[in-house]
Amino acid sequence: MYFRVGGIPSDRPCKTKACITIDFDNTVGDNLWVWRADHGDNVGWDRNTCENGIIINGDNVTMYALMVEHFNGYQTLWNGNGGTCIMYQSEVPYDVPDKKQWINPDGKRFGYASFKVSDDVTSFYAVGLGVYLYNRDNSIPMYCAMEVPDIEGVHVHNIITAYLNGFPGMKCVINEAGDSIISPGQTSKILDYENGQWR
């Protein structure tokens, strides 16, 4: 399934709150490309707006090959328990106009994580995630690629961040864990993360 917000020939901007929201339990998604357009007609931070690409509220949801890019807030917001994500690719937005419009909801950090597992989730598993930063139009800092609860039931395998262009980069990979990427070409990897422990 493919989703696109804006960037098609039109005489007015295209706006929505989320491309897809999954409320049902035991749902399986395979090859979802969820995209807020970064080129085309009527494209811009305040023109083709969409806060989240995908919101998952159901329990025991499985996603294979989930690709989510350029949204105004969290790219992926996972609220359900027992979820599994196998292969995730994301480029965060590069048309953020200034730091004031790219602040984490806690009000303390710049940049929304690409993938947010909600604080009340007790079980979640993900493997094979890649999040990359391309600061084409700005110099907006980003704190981390993924936020998860630091509990035993939330487990992430093999996540990598990459910095393609611009300044100033990304501080860490998951929560406070992982090396910073601060110059083009740098990557940072975490092989295994659970309960605040990582390698």
Instruction: Give the DSSP per-residue string, the chain.
Output: -EEEES-SS-SS----SEEEEE-SSS-EEEEEEEEE-SSSTT-STTTS--SEEEEE-SSS-EEEEEEEE--SS-SEEE--SSEEEEEEEEE--S----GGGSB-TTSSSBS--SEEE-TT---EEEEEEEEEEE-SS----EEEEEE---STTEEEEEEEEEEEESSS-EEEEETTBS--B-STT-EEEEEEEETTEE-
Catalytic member of 51, 91, 147, 152: 91
Task: Tell me if residue 51 is catalytic.
Answer: no
Residues 122, 30, 33, 143, Cα dihedral to 10°: 30
> What are the φ/ψ torsions at residue 195 (nearest 5 degrees)?
55, 40
The residues annotated with a catalytic role in the active site are 91
